[in-house]
Structure 1
Amino acid sequence: MAEEKEEPINPMMEEMKKQWAAMGIDPNQMLSYMNNAMGMQQNIQDQLNQAMGSNPFLQNLMGMAAGQAPAGDMLNMFDESPEVKEDSDLTPAELKAVLCGANIAYGNTQYLNTLSTYCPVEDILEGLENAWNIGSREDLLGTLDWLDKNGHKAYFDIIWAKLSTLPKAEWRAGIKGLALQALVDTNIEPERLMTYATHILEGYPGLLSHGIFAAAKTPDVTAWDLTRAINLCRFGFDVEYLTRDEALQKIQEFAQKLYSTYDSWKALSEGYVTGFAMWSGEGDALDERIEQHGVLLQHPKSPWTKVSWK
């Protein structure tokens, strides 16, 4: 039988053990703590490597750190440029439909011109569950149906029907009567209606100062609901709740409704931002969406500047 080799003595470690013992610390226990810490560090590194392996942007970043040339539109990560994939396989009609969801895709730093979002599947599943209570194909289809037929547009229409009949000085008093009106509609939650009305009241001046509402006598937030529906279809494809054909068919159906509602990318984007203002209220998040609205309309890399609305 071969003799077991003795591990070489590490003088530095032996000295540390002596110092720990002199301080009243059990050297073996301290070594156990150190080994556990090293194991945790390795586990964190493994998780980071796994996340980077499934994310094209992080893969690119790792390659750049190793001296490789950036692939595709990688440098967009360091400025406000929209993310655009060079080898998109969408037809012109499919591309235009997917671009109707650009406000959300840009906000999430997703590619604007692909069906897949290229986000890690586990992150998508967690986001669907936490933000939408979607945990299955059936949940997704139900949410898409709600966004299409009701959504938050139902709330905005009630609010704007009231505010549009009043001078702005009377808006705050006018929204107080909305709760009673909501009681006759089983699809409307009175408390949510009042919250959204307050958000519109407070966010309106900021929207107006950025030119939003300027050309719309009757604002329409259909875009807020259907751009989210389009992005949910993309997520649904990524997690295999929808096939490619199903996702693209639904996206194009939602896009057709947007084409008939708005007359430009600008009007579409204003509808989205207005809906976001109703949902979130004024603050940094709304300011960021307004800024993104401008980038999508003007940045030379934005597909909106290259794909005609008509």
Structure 2
Amino acid sequence: MGFLKKLFQIVSGKKYRNCPNGAAADPAAQRALQAGLINSEQIMAYCDSYATGLSDETLSEGLGSHWGIRSPQEAAETLASLGRHGHRFFYDIVFRIYSDGASGEERQEVLEALIASGRYGSPETVREQIAAQGPSEEKDLVFSALEQALEMLENLRSVFRLLEDKVNGSYLPKDYSGGILAWDLGRLVTVARMSLDCKYIEQAEFDRILSHADKELRSNFSSWPQFAKSYIIGRASWAGQNMTLGGIIGIAEDLMTDERSPWVLSPL
């Protein structure tokens, strides 16, 4: 089912699907699940339970096509990356460089920041590999990351100070400087739920992920509208301005205002 058809069903009233077998009882788990609400509404999953309520076909297509997850190992690697780095790793680099102003050397500045991060190996080793002739794993990894970061930089440039929603109004520079943790948390929770449904992860690991998400949520956000801003900026920086972004902003606006919304019923 395409995104627009799902969005039409949401707008038509099929919102906030409750699990017929009951909601998650633990308050911390419920908060963590609500961090994934924009995602779960987008894919029409249950909003209140560990189980998504999605068909096996939808789960397999979603994890396989969109995330490259077809095994427990791939699920573990993706979830670990979302938890530790996510897209915020790139965003923090490109936002700093964008904020410093155009210098004409953005590509080199981003490359140096990626190397200095240590994520792709010892900075000294990576610099040596880049300077050397011939391919290497370190070189491939860092240049692949460079292209992702530069794409995010262009997306950020295209949406900076242009984003808004009906609750928060126009987003200010301080909103962009707040980062995109919500974008990564929302996806972490959703991928974990789908992976649990597919039996790619055990319940204990799922519980650990929800606990981590709840801790990050409570430590970094004081309201769901604040969370929504971070999520929307993350989505826009990842893929720029398009029709899908408008639909996601609409979902977030409903979550912030609809009297039946779990965000409205359980504010942070």
- What band does the TM-score fall into relative to the shorter chain? 0.7 to 0.9
Q: What is the distance in 1 between the residues matched to 2:105 and 2:53?
A: 46
Q: What is the distance in 1 between the residues matched to 2:237 and 2:51?
A: 29
Q: How does 1:70-109 map to 2 (within 5 A)?
A: 79-80=12-13, 82-85=15-18, 87=20, 88-91=22-25, 92-109=27-44
In structure 1, what is the equivalent of residue 211 of structure 2?
252
**1:194 paired residue among 113, 127, 150:** 150
Shift of 1:79: 1.8
User: What letter corresponds to residue 295 of structure 1 in structure 2?
Assistant: D
Shift of 1:181: 2.6
Q: What is the distance in 2 between the residues matched to 1:108 and 1:86?
A: 15
CA contact (8 A) 2:42 2:251 kept: yes
CA contact (8 A) 1:117 1:238 kept: yes
User: What letter corresponds to residue 36 of structure 2 in structure 1?
Assistant: G
CA contact (8 A) 1:81 1:301 kept: no
CA contact (8 A) 1:82 1:296 kept: no
**1:280 paired residue among 228, 239, 242:** 239
- The CA deviation string for residues 178-215 of structure 1, in whole angstroms up to 9 with x for no partner, is 44434524545111111100001101233157433466
- Pair 1:301-2:260 in alignment: yes
The percentage of counterpart residues that share the same residue type is 22
Unaligned runs of 5+ in 1: 1-75
Q: What is the distance in 1 between the residues matched to 2:245 and 2:18?
A: 27
Q: What is the distance in 1 between the residues matched to 2:212 and 2:92?
A: 22
- The CA deviation string for residues 235-281 of structure 1, in whole angstroms up to 9 with x for no partner, is 01211123344323311222211221222111112111111111111
CA contact (8 A) 2:75 2:201 kept: no
Residues matched between the structures, number = 231
In structure 1, what is the equivalent of residue 100 of structure 2?
165
CA contact (8 A) 2:175 2:230 kept: no
User: What letter corresponds to residue 263 of structure 2 in structure 1?
Assistant: W
Shift of 1:123: 2.1
- What RMSD over aligned residues (CA atoms) do the two structures have, in Å? 2.5
In structure 2, what is the equivalent of residue 181 of structure 1?
112
Q: What is the distance in 1 between the residues matched to 2:236 and 2:257?
A: 21
Q: What is the distance in 2 between the residues matched to 1:243 and 1:180?
A: 37
Q: What is the distance in 1 between the residues matched to 2:174 and 2:249?
A: 16
User: What letter corresponds to residue 146 of structure 2 in structure 1?
Assistant: P
Q: 1:213 to 1:148 in 2, by over 3 A?
A: farther
Query: SS in structure 2 opposite 1:240?
Result: coil
Alignment TM-score, normalising by the size of structure 2 = 0.77
Structure with larger Rg = 1
